[in-house]
Amino acid sequence: MVKKLALFFAYLSFFMLALMYFTPKVSIYYFLETQLKPYDVIISSESVQDSGLTLSIEDGVVFVKSIDSAKIKNVDITILGLYNALSVSEIELSSVAASFVPLKIAQVDIIYSVIDPLNITANAVGEFGEVQAIANLLERIVHVKLVPSALMKKDYKHTLKNLKKSENGEFVYDKTF
């Protein structure tokens, strides 16, 4: 009985990995890109490469309402069903945002897992400091905690005034969606 159960899970794992490996991830990416067009979001100049279990996108430029909004060096998307991750590195925002936030974001990691199926978590590090965010899908609330850098505290005080300061020096932002 235990042997049959182990064999079942081995076949199931092999099937899931084979399904993820042979999924046409590049075609799905371009389909999702067309779904962003009605929102006036266009990603251009990127190179897309299927790396087996991940999809890598390099050197993308994001336009929102025809305005050059960000340049992204690297995006890695991992879709395994039970664990899904999006890792974005070296983001440079447009100079339009310079009056609100620092322009360089070093890393953004977004994770969704069946271990915590009601929450999507995100972590970001950049010139602004460190951000931890949780989007609760059931309650439809986004909770963001910012540990600001010295640059953020010095040059972007007006942005920090829009956030609520907690006792431990972090800034908190809650929004329903």
d(CA 39, CA 118): 26
Give the sign of the dihedral formed by CA 27, CA 28, CA 33, CA 36. positive
d(CA 145, CA 166): 9
pLDDT in tens, 81-129: 889 999 999 999 999 999 999 999 999 999 999 999 999 999 999 999 9
Closest listed residue to residue 76, CA positions, set 50, 55, 45, 106: 55
pTM score, whole prediction = 0.88
**Domain count within the chain:** 1
Range of the domain at 123: 2-176
Confidence of residue 1 (pLDDT cuts 50, 70, 90): confident
Sequence-distant (6+) residues with CB within 8 A of 125 are 105, 106, 107, 131
pLDDT at 82: 85
Query: What is the C-alpha end-to-end distance of the chain, expressed in Å?
Result: 48
CA angle 35, 38, 42 (to 5 degrees): 70
pLDDT in tens, 21-73: 998 999 999 999 999 999 999 999 999 999 988 999 999 999 999 999 999 99
pLDDT at 94: 95
